[in-house]
Amino acid sequence: MRRVYLDYNATTPLAPEVFETMKPYWLGEYGNASSIHWYGQRAKAAVEQAREQVARLIGAQPAEVVFTGGGTESDNAAIFGVVGAAQSATKHVVTSTIEHHAVLFTAMALEPCGVSVTLVPVGSSGVVDPADVARAVRPDTVLISVMHANNELGTIQPIAEIGRIAREHDVYFHTDAVQTVGKIPIDVEELGVDLLSLSAHKLYGPKGVGGLYIRRGTALRPLLYGGHHERDRRAGTENVPGIVGLGKAAELAGEHMVEDALSVSALRDRFEEGILSSVPLARINGDVSRRAPGTTNISFDCIEGEGFVIALDLKGLACSTGAACSSGSIEPSHVLAAIGKTKEQARSSIRFSFGRYSAPEDVDCALVTVPDAAARLRSMSPHWENAFSHQLSTIDAAIGE
């Protein structure tokens, strides 16, 4: 059975070049980057080279990049860090309803401490309106956090416009760019962000390592206290092999970006066209005109998403739903709820995400597997016949007019 991986937004495979670059740092190059001896200095040099590689990819100064334990930690460090350092008597944070839980739950965790949080809503496009962000800002707003591309829909947010609003109001601005770093060009100056989160395992690097861009001069309280690592901004012995891997992944991403983006969007677009023409009542969620290259999110009426993912997995195709399993029940995706989908529509939605190693044969295979599985599951659904005949009569009526 051919296995097809269409879940690049969940994680990417490690690039072989990244693995080769990391290897010595698991073996002979085992120094602690804080040690003053030969071993330590070699490790430190490798960490500093990685810092330069990451900084180059996002248009930052190396000293503005702090290594972390991944995207989640970067988001937590940015939000808790800015709010913790703010001196005002009352504090307010603006974020959006479609953020990853690493931002959403972090912001909400501040509420019991007296911080107020405004969640800016989005329409069916899945794109935040900068005017809504401007309206949400108050005199005591200390941080705006809006993600660069949504992980479920792929929709790219108007970060540069929001950056200008943040500047006008003199408010710090964080973006979670975990789904865009390495995929589309990023320049922290053009985006006007003060903080930006990234994660190695979304750009063909290792899991458990990430970065946080912190604009020079940003007042930030550290999340972790301990040694003087990372210029006192993130205590803890550096994960040297992981950081080296992130650096190499960043360098490769810069080299491959254009070619990756073109091939990945071509595969995604061919897949979408194939699905829309072969599966009745399949609908794409979110604004298709401004999406990260490899992502599509499709609702399949009358199909329960979890069951669909399992059926596809049994046929060798890996993809995902945005649903989260909480306290034993499956909660439909908060992102799909935020763009106005009903629980049923949200539960019938699947995310397919393509990447550097996706091949045209993967799309050919998926264009057989997905329609087959959809037809089989619908043939077992008590609602399908009604939904389909209702749709046909709507189309007939429209043609009749």
Report if residue 151 touches ligand PLP, rule: CB under 6 A: yes
Report DSSP letters for 36-99, one per residue: -SHHHHHHHHHHHHHHHHHHHHHT--GGGEEEESSHHHHHHHHHHHHHHH---SS-EEEEETTS
**Which sequence positions are flagged as catalytic?**
325
Q: Look at residues 185, 191, 156, 155 and name the one whose alpha carbon lies nearest to residue 173.
A: 191
Residue whose beta carbon is closest to ligand PLP = 71
Q: Look at residues 146, 149, 199, 198 and name the one whose alpha carbon lies nearest to residue 172.
A: 146
Report if residue 199 touches ligand PLP, rule: CB under 6 A: yes
Enclosing H/E stretch for 269:
helix 240-278
Query: How many residues are listed for the chain in this entry?
Result: 401
* Angstrom distance (rounded) from CA 6 to CA 13: 11
Q: Look at residues 372, 238, 377 and name the one whose alpha carbon lies nearest to residue 304.
A: 377
Among 78-86, 172-180, 276-284, 316-324, the segment contacting ligand PLP (CB under 6 A): 172-180
Q: Which is nearer to ligand PLP, 295 or 369 (CB)?
A: 295
- Tell me the closest approach of the beta carbon of residue 385 to ligand PLP, in angstroms: 37
Q: Which is nearer to ligand PLP, 280 or 294 (CB)?
A: 294
Q: Which is nearer to ligand PLP, 335 or 365 (CB)?
A: 335
- Tell me the closest approach of the beta carbon of residue 71 to ligand PLP, in angstroms: 2
* Angstrom distance (rounded) from CA 248 to CA 60: 17
Report if residue 147 touches ligand PLP, rule: CB under 6 A: yes
- Tell me the closest approach of the beta carbon of residue 286 to ligand PLP, in angstroms: 14
The DSSP bridge pattern shows strands 172-176 and 141-145 to be: parallel
Say if CB 171 and CB 141 are below 8 A apart. yes
- Tell me the closest approach of the beta carbon of residue 41 to ligand PLP, in angstroms: 29
Among 13-21, 71-79, 127-135, 292-300, the segment contacting ligand PLP (CB under 6 A): 71-79
Choose which of 179, 285, 320, 321 interacts with ligand PLP (CB under 6 A).
179
Tokens describing residue 20: 């080769």
Q: Which is nearer to ligand PLP, 196 or 220 (CB)?
A: 196
Query: Could you identify the residue written with the tokens 């949400």?
Result: 136
For 9, phi and psi rounded to 5 degrees?
-75, -25
Q: Look at residues 318, 381, 306 and name the one whose alpha carbon lies nearest to residue 347.
A: 306
Choose which of 7, 64, 129, 176 interacts with ligand PLP (CB under 6 A).
176
- Tell me the closest approach of the beta carbon of residue 151 to ligand PLP, in angstroms: 3
Among 68-76, 183-191, 363-371, 383-391, the segment contacting ligand PLP (CB under 6 A): 68-76
- Tell me the closest approach of the beta carbon of residue 320 to ligand PLP, in angstroms: 10
Report if residue 106 touches ligand PLP, rule: CB under 6 A: no
Q: Which is nearer to ligand PLP, 212 or 370 (CB)?
A: 212
- Give the 3-state secondary structure of residue 273: helix
Choose which of 51, 91, 100, 174 interacts with ligand PLP (CB under 6 A).
100
Please give the residues from 200 up to 229 whose contact with ligand PLP meets the rule CB under 6 A: 201, 210
* Angstrom distance (rounded) from CA 216 to CA 325: 39
Report if residue 70 touches ligand PLP, rule: CB under 6 A: yes
**How many Cα atoms sit within 13 Å of 387 on the Cβ side?**
15
Q: Which is nearer to ligand PLP, 246 or 303 (CB)?
A: 246
Report if residue 77 touches ligand PLP, rule: CB under 6 A: no
Report if residue 292 touches ligand PLP, rule: CB under 6 A: no
Q: Look at residues 353, 362, 301 and name the one whose alpha carbon lies nearest to residue 152.
A: 353
Choose which of 8, 57, 71, 341 interacts with ligand PLP (CB under 6 A).
71
Residues that bind ligand PLP in the complex, under the rule CB under 6 A: 70-72, 75, 100, 102, 147, 151, 176, 178-179, 199, 201, 210
